[in-house]
Amino acid sequence: MSMIAALPRTTTPLLLLFACAAGLSVANVYYAQPLLDALAADLHIGTARIGAVIAATQLGSVIALLWLVPLGDRHERRRLMALQNMALVLALLGVASAGSATALLLGMLVVGLLGTAMTQGLIAYAAAAAHPHERGRVVGAAQAGVVIGLLLARVVAGGVADLGGWRAVYGVSAGLMVLSGAVLWLRLPRLPVPVAPPRASLLALLRQQPVLRRRGVLGLLLFTAFGLFWSTLALPLGAPPYALSHTAIGAFALVGLLGALAAARAGHWSDHGHAERISLVALLVLLLSWAPLAALPLHLGWLVLGVLLLDLAAQALHVTNQSLILAAAPDAQAQVIAAYMLFYAAGSGLGAVLGSALYATQGWLGVCVAGATVSVLALGAWALMRPAQPSRQQGQRSGGCRPGG
């Protein structure tokens, strides 16, 4: 890999730029979640099938991870970001003007494609520019922006939809992406194109990278559980006895902002060799979260507690996963992050489809039982695949054992 300028520890404005741009990009993939009831009513999509809207964005994410994100290892990242940003603006305007379910699904697929490409491209950009000993910290900071973006997406979408309808959400987002693209073009550092190894297929990467195999499986199960909850929540909250507005539904995501803090610290702790401990605690909290979530029909306070636990667990494990796989493959940052995020997208899409189908047939309790079951599977997978050697030794072999300063 050719030498590139490392991101100094003191460049807080640049870290904030990566975090904010990644948050704005990923928000486009999640705006639809609190709007499912409005989308279903406006475009005549049945309750059992409305999860296809979320699944379409995740399918777009899969395509991006297979074909677009790995391009960052071979092309000038700044120019690539600019092209993707312009295409994303056009896709958002297409969704805002969709007149049928088919047009909406196609638009969501493209939004998922480009929103994911930009988000993961920015994370890989930051990781490639960071010193090895602080890569976890930098990835944690960028991922914190992603978490805040995906959580605030639900709040913003609900508020804008209540004021101007669901189409206004995507029109406003198109304007924000124009501004974001301009700032990125002006402020992102120019990094030399790395001399990347030949692009490996997903199967080849999985054979070569045992850390990617282990963490990919955990990511798949984690985001199946995460998708089960977030893709379904708007349905019981929008119906009697609560019948909440889109703004109120989206506001529950604010509770999950504490998950962003856990995400940033998880990267720091991973740098210090505590990745497996973080993983165990996160998986136990994930399982525990389904008890208060199942009590939603009793009181909304249980929902608040459940959301807090779920988001803390999900983001802590997610950042730990990313920190480990990036440390294990310093010469193929974009390829391994794309491969890992394929598991993420597959889990999110599966959770969305299962969630809406289970809610239509089994109600909210059925969704929560499914989420707890997947959480148990994740805990069992972690126990079976846990490496024999401590993660601190893994970090030392990859040059990421101790952060500077």
The neighbouring-strand residues paired with 7 are 130
CB atoms within 10 A of CB 199: 14
Contacts of 351 (CB under 8 A, 6+ apart): 223, 224, 225, 226, 227, 228, 229, 231, 374
Q: What is the pLDDT of residue 5?
A: 47
Instruction: Report the phi/psi class of residue 193: left, alpha or beta, with left for phi > 0 and alpha for psi in -120 to 50.
Output: beta
Instruction: Report the phi/psi class of residue 44: left, alpha or beta, with left for phi > 0 and alpha for psi in -120 to 50.
Output: left
Intervals of the chain under pLDDT 50:
1-10, 390-405
pLDDT tens per residue, range 304-355: 999 989 988 988 898 889 888 878 877 677 788 778 888 988 898 899 889 9
DSSP 402: S
Q: For residue 99, count CB atoms less than 10 angstroms from its CB and return exposed for 0-12, middle for 13-18, buried for 19 or more.
A: exposed
H helix or E strand, kind and range, residue 7: none
Q: What is the pLDDT of residue 283?
A: 96
Alpha-carbon distance values, 255 to 97, 311, 312 (Å): 32, 8, 10
pTM for the whole structure: 0.72
d(CA 18, CA 10): 14
Q: What is the pLDDT of residue 275?
A: 85
Q: What is the pLDDT of residue 395?
A: 43
d(CA 405, CA 403): 7
Q: What is the pLDDT of residue 271?
A: 65
CB-side exposure of 324: number of CA atoms within 13 Å?
33
Q: What is the pLDDT of residue 352?
A: 84
pLDDT tens per residue, range 152-185: 898 899 889 999 999 999 999 999 999 999 999 9
d(CA 346, CA 140): 22
Q: What is the pLDDT of residue 341?
A: 82
CB 276 within 8 A of CB 395: no
Q: What is the pLDDT of residue 325?
A: 87
